[in-house]
Amino acid sequence: MIDQLTINKIKEVTVVEIAEKLGLNPTKKQGANWVCKCFMHPDNHPSLYLNPAKNVWKCFACKDNNGGGSIALVMKHENLDFYQACQWIAREFSIEFKTVSKYAANNQKPTTMTTTQTTTSTLCTLDSSLIAARESANSHFCQAMINNHILTPVQMQHAVRKYHLGATASGEVIFWQIDQQQNLRDGKLMTYQPDGHRSRSVNPSWVSYKMKNEWKDKQNNPLLPQEWEKTQCLFGLHLTAGNNLPVALVESEKTAIICSELFYMQGFVWVSCGGISNLSTAMLQPLAGRNIIIFPDTDPDGSTFAKWSSIA
């Protein structure tokens, strides 16, 4: 459930501000209204009216019942449900997105975790402008998810924005690892086949590796120094910031993405550790005290379950 104060703040954003963010370009004013071209029908003469004082919008050329407030505008334009539209507005307008978890009532004490302080080293991160620069649904991964009807194009687009999925020029998908402080830890590059399975012949690579060894700047210097060291975090960890939602942990990035779209009603944050052998207590530490449900993949002999149970 979304916290009521968060909803109130979201509703303070005007329909005109929302329309601008959505690229509807409301530049003409008629009396108290702003007008722009309608996105629901081919519109040569602007017929979508936005009234910031009443904070409502409506297209007077569309015959079907349309219009409403700011959240409804995002729901309609982006094809999102109420919860997702609120998340969208909160993200775009830097509103803290608070949720009220039904688990909050349990008032659980955080699990105590003894952390051995390793020698203090500064965390190496990547420039987060890489995320926006690379955000794209043009990877072979995204295409395969759509072409095999695993996700609809709208769901895929939504997941791209949510997880900030990227693509390289050669079609590899970039699964960024972004932590709760929104630090960009690294990006995993993976090659997927047209059937939606990952290509076993191509090993995953890392953006940091490419920046150290292959990608060069104009002076032909590597983009990262050799001493830059990656520290992995869970894929999707950034989505756990600012809320107390239960977390669902799976093996692969692909599973996390698919489940987050297909099971969004359940209100989990879906994260991935990137592989069976990759789960560690260090990776789980940022989630100390949270409700976490762990889903290993098909596990006929129960060995992964046993191993993950011990880590958990």
Q: Which residues contact Zn ion (rule: CB under 5 A)?
A: 38, 40-41, 59, 61-62
Tokens of 246: 């239960």
Least CB distance to Zn ion at residue 45 (A): 11
Residue closer to Zn ion, measured from CB, 21 or 41: 41
Residue closer to Zn ion, measured from CB, 36 or 294: 36
Residue closer to Zn ion, measured from CB, 41 or 161: 41
Residue closer to Zn ion, measured from CB, 45 or 109: 45
Least CB distance to Zn ion at residue 211 (A): 46
Least CB distance to Zn ion at residue 100 (A): 36
Residue closer to Zn ion, measured from CB, 38 or 233: 38
Residue closer to Zn ion, measured from CB, 39 or 93: 39
Residue closer to Zn ion, measured from CB, 2 or 62: 62
Q: Are 93 and 85 in contact (CB under 8 A)?
A: no
Least CB distance to Zn ion at residue 66 (A): 7
Least CB distance to Zn ion at residue 63 (A): 9
SS3 per residue for the chain: CECHHHHHHHHHCCHHHHHHHCCCCCCEEECCEEEECCCCCCCCCCCEEEECCCCEEEECCCCCCCCECHHHHHHHHHCCCHHHHHHHHHHHCCCCCCECCCCHHHCCCCCCCCCCCCCCCCCCCECCHHHHHHECCCCHHHHHHHHCCCCCHHHHHHHHHHHCCEECCCCCEEEEEECCCCCEEEEEEECECCCCCECCCCCCEEHHHHHHHCCECCCCCECCCCCCCCCCCCECHHHHCCCCCCEEEECCHHHHHHHHHHCHHHCCEEEECCCHHHCCHHHHHHHCCCCEEEECCCCCCCHHHHHHHHHC
Least CB distance to Zn ion at residue 142 (A): 30
* 156/137 Cα distance (integer angstroms): 7
Least CB distance to Zn ion at residue 44 (A): 11
